[in-house]
Amino acid sequence: MDLKYYNEEPYDAKVSRTVLKTSQKRRLFDLVQQNVERGIKKFFDNCKNQVPGKKGYPRFKKHSRSVEYKQSGWKLSPDKKSIKFTDKKGIGKVKLKGKWDLWRFDQKLIKRVRIVQRADGYYVQFCVKVDNHEQLEATGFTVGLDVGLKEFYTDSYGHTEPNPRFYRKGEKRLKFYQRRVSRKKKGSANRKKAINRLGKTHLKISRQRKEHAKRLVRSYRKIVEPYYKRFNPFMQSRTPIKAPLSKVSSPARCVIRSNDLVAYEDLRVKNLVKNHCLAKSINDAGWYQFREWLEYFGKKFGRITVAVNPAYTSQNCSSCGEVVRKSLSTRTHTCKCGCQLDRDHNAAKNILTRALGTVGHTGTLINAWGEDTSTLLGSGLGEQVTSLNQESPGF
């Protein structure tokens, strides 16, 4: 039996599909009981200690797809290419397949091991306690981002990132596999195979959306160099920046690396998707996932991220502050003062101005996994995001 593995920032490794034996699958469910007991205990402890907010009431999961171990019950081989589960549940020794080498980390630093079931096989996640902070030099730039449906985002400099629309592009294929599922007899082996093919298609779309929000979309030099040349005359006479392959990253990573402060809208996506005409496009865009990675990389590289109240950012003029009413179909902002900009460009400028005009900002998220991500920066800004519970990126 083989397991594919990855840590918090995996490469796009092409690994073959693996299957657990039926007897081993059954024994995995015995391990789920430990998670249930831990969840119930945590709920009662939160009630007893009167923890503010939600107490974490345990929710029943009919189909559990993960099993988690602490620092016991497993053992890595000396070459870190296989793992043996020693809890006498029948899993035994399994081979690890992937491009990440665990020899970089001491086994004492691995705090959690989790077996996760995906549509294309089983994976093992390693939660490693390491300091991943990097100190970058100050760039002297600030940027405001306005996310949208026409363009993925527009910044305060006028640069736009195209919206990939992964779900829209794969919708035809999804319909094809959904029809094949509907034609199969319920409970048959062919229906299970059809469901698995449909799940793989959904999984591919979700991975595309996550990787687009995180990295491998635009190289670092393509984003940073135009900004430096535009605002720094000294850079105009220099040779182009040659970034190494390690700098090739996503919009989130590049925006954070090339700016000292990043401002964005504190959108409530849960409320926005109530508009049934735009719900599919909003979910396909993945705005909140992009925000999660912005805040994560902001903490990692020591940059400031500010979430501002999105009210009237599109209606107010970025030049004079006059309110210019416009419908959603009006894509150009035209004011009496002579300011004429793209609607999203005008909104991005207002977002940046609102963030810079705020006093008392204390930084970005407290920890790298999303606790208290956006601080409350005054009456004009939204509330904190209490918990994002960022895990290792799924496949």
CA geometry: angle at 118 spanning 76 and 171, to 5°?
150
Report helix, strand and coil shares of the chain as percent, to nearest 5.
35, 20, 45
Note the helical H segments in the chain. Answer: 22-48, 166-183, 189-214, 220-231, 233-236, 251-257, 269-272, 279-285, 287-300, 343-356
CB contact at 8 A, 259 and 265: no
CB contact at 8 A, 297 and 134: no
Q: Which residues are catalytic?
A: 146, 265, 344
Closest by CA to 217, choosing from 293, 312, 318, is: 293
**CB count in 10 Å sphere of residue 28:** 20
Helix axes 287-300, 189-214, angle to 10 degrees: 50
Segment (H or E) for 74? strand 74-76
Find the Cα–Cα–Cα–Cα dihedral 47, 53, 57, 59, rounded to 10°: -170
CA geometry: angle at 194 spanning 188 and 197, to 5°?
150
Helices first, then strands: H and E counts in the chain: 10, 14
The token pair that represents 238 in the structure block: 């220099």
How far is residue 110's CA from residue 114's CA, in Å, rounded to a whole number?
A: 11
Exposure string for 185-212, b = 16+ CB within 10 A, e = fewer: eeeeeebeebbeebebbeebbbbbbbbb
Exposure string for 31-48, b = 16+ CB within 10 A, e = fewer: beeeeeeeeeeeeeebee
